[in-house]
Structure 1
Amino acid sequence: MLYSNILSLLALGALTTAAPRQEVLGGPDEGQFPIPQPLPFNATLPGVNYNLIAKLRDAPNAIARIAMLDDKDFFFDFISPPLDIAGTEFQGQGGRFIVASGINMPGLVDNGMSMAIGFTKACGFNTPHTHPRATELALLVKGRMISEFVAETGARKIRNEHQPYSMAVFPQGSLHLEFNPDCGEAIFVAVFNSEDPGLNTPAESLFMLDDDLVGLALGLEFLPGADIDKYRHLVPASLAQGVESCLSKCGISKSEL
């Protein structure tokens, strides 16, 4: 039963997956349902001004930091963001996120805040994830949104339905999701109490571990590592598009995914 349930979940992931823009792991079948490639050892993020950020962090006080920056460093345009800087945009078939953080808006360095706007398409589903270094406040400004989170093992699930100008709170480290159950676009603004909130998608992260250990974690120790690898590409990427009832209501064919 456990084996069947897990394979069913992975198969559902195939319906809800969207391809992000990051480089993905190789393999002939993995391009359709990619897993973001981790940053290699000693690598750098494209477009990030490492020297400026280091100087800002070493500055003795805020006055010195402000003196290093131009006026434009305290300004961020979510409609025309700096897409040449890594971590600014995360995109999938279900929509996209634009993120303002310390790496693309230097004025945020040492201010302990960042912000993102999620533009979700019809049936857009921001798959379960955590922010390891921040609590999130998510304010819906257009459409309708379903939110859920589990703060930690042993805590009950929290679920709410949001109309425009209602807000959800996702405690730091909690596993949470957002879903647009309607046929029009939904937009929400997310604020974090860290300039580097981080992102962890447990499904993708689990399948980055050693195959044998993944099998043990899923209770599939009897499933060969090669078979686990067959389902690795079915893990959904962030901002996937899915949930069959919504797709049917909105006239979206699975073949369009």
Structure 2
Amino acid sequence: MPSISSLLLSALAVAAPIFAVDTPVNATLNKEIKTAPTELSKLDLVRDDYAFDFTQSEKYSYSPGGVVNANAATFPASTGHGMTVAWLALGPCAMLPPHFHPRADNFVVAVEGNTTTYMVQENGAKIVTSNLTPGKLTIFPQGSVHSMQNNGCTNATLISALNSDDTGTTNLLNALYQLPGDIVDAAFGTNSTSNGGSVPDVGTGAAVGSAECRARCGL
């Protein structure tokens, strides 16, 4: 399996379009739901929009991949329920770059494909590596750094459940290179110019994965 360092290097290699965060589709409705006096009155506000279609999102892609969240921003009916459900689409050798969720624990179950996940919970903790095939689940505790890669030459799909309807996501490399270049260089123990310009935008949430996998799959 590719190392976490090779996944980090891969995340530096490919640019992606910008879709960085979930934009509320109806902020006014979110406010009305939060201030509704009863659960029945909340239902009256959303009863005609009570189904969410992951496949209609601009982030639904297996080329290289994407993360589609059903949450308060994208699906107002979920406002106040304290849940986000995400469709994780990973094309051949695609990855989710290292990131964390500041406001939620994350349970991920594999539906198709063969995906390896990596997680570091905090300083002093050893890396946890899990291999997810259909029917297997892993946990990323709130605030833990995690990443995953589709190891196969066909699509991988996973379903992610998080215990907040506004989880937040911080991609580590994108955040890191917002800091002054000399601070980043010092953190890496180097005197070279920082390489933040080559870090791809958050995009759909996924990026091209390791060189080893791409070579094996002829990509």
TM-score by length of 1: 0.74
Matches within 5 A, 1:59-70: 59-70=36-47
The farther-off stretch of 190-199 and 233-242 is 233-242
2:86 to 112, 116, 121: 116
- CA drift of 1:196 comes to 0.9
Aligned residues: 212
Matches within 5 A, 1:203-242: 203-220=173-190, 222-223=191-192, 227-228=193-194, 231-236=195-200, 237=202, 238-242=205-209
Q: Which has the larger radius of gyration?
A: 1
Q: Distance in 1 between matches of 2:141 and 2:8?
A: 27
Q: Distance in 2 between matches of 1:13 and 1:195?
A: 27
Q: 1:199 to 1:69 in 2, by over 3 A?
A: same
Matches within 5 A, 1:63-102: 63-72=40-49, 74-81=50-57, 83=58, 89=59, 93-102=63-72
Kept in 2: contact 1:20–1:90 (CA 8 A): no
For structure 2, the residue ranges without an aligned partner over 5 or more in a row are none
Q: Percent identity?
A: 29
Q: Distance in 1 between matches of 2:62 and 2:176?
A: 20
Aligned residue for 1:246, secondary structure, equals: helix
- CA drift of 1:90 comes to 7.0
Kept in 2: contact 1:150–1:174 (CA 8 A): yes
Matches within 5 A, 1:18-29: 18-22=15-19
Q: Distance in 1 between matches of 2:174 and 2:62?
A: 15
Aligned residue for 2:185, secondary structure, equals: helix
Partner of 1:49: 26
Partner of 2:151: 181
Q: Which amino acid aligns with 1:250?
A: C
Partner of 1:152: 122
Provide runs of 4+ in structure 1 moved above 4 Å. 8-12, 90-93
Q: Distance in 2 between matches of 1:207 and 1:99?
A: 25
Q: Distance in 2 between matches of 1:162 and 1:235?
A: 27
After superposition, what is the alpha-carbon deviation per residue over 1:115-170, rounded to whole angstroms, capped at 9, x for unaligned?
11111111111111101111111111011110110111111111111111111111
Partner of 1:42: none
The farther-off stretch of 211-220 and 197-206 is 211-220
After superposition, what is the alpha-carbon deviation per residue over 1:41-66, rounded to whole angstroms, capped at 9, x for unaligned?
xxxx8663222111212223423322
Q: Distance in 2 between matches of 1:141 and 1:92?
A: 14
Q: Distance in 2 between matches of 1:127 and 1:173?
A: 15
1:248 to 188, 212, 215: 215
Aligned residue for 2:198, secondary structure, equals: coil
Aligned residue for 1:71, secondary structure, equals: coil
Q: 1:212 to 1:61 in 2, by over 3 A?
A: farther
Q: Distance in 2 between matches of 1:107 and 1:75?
A: 8
Q: Distance in 1 between matches of 2:123 and 2:108?
A: 22
TM-score by length of 2: 0.86
Q: Which amino acid aligns with 1:64?
A: S
Q: 1:243 to 1:115 in 2, by over 3 A?
A: same
Aligned residue for 1:191, secondary structure, equals: strand
- CA drift of 1:114 comes to 1.1
Q: 1:48 to 1:78 in 2, by over 3 A?
A: closer
Is the counterpart of residue 199 in structure 1 residue 176 in structure 2? no
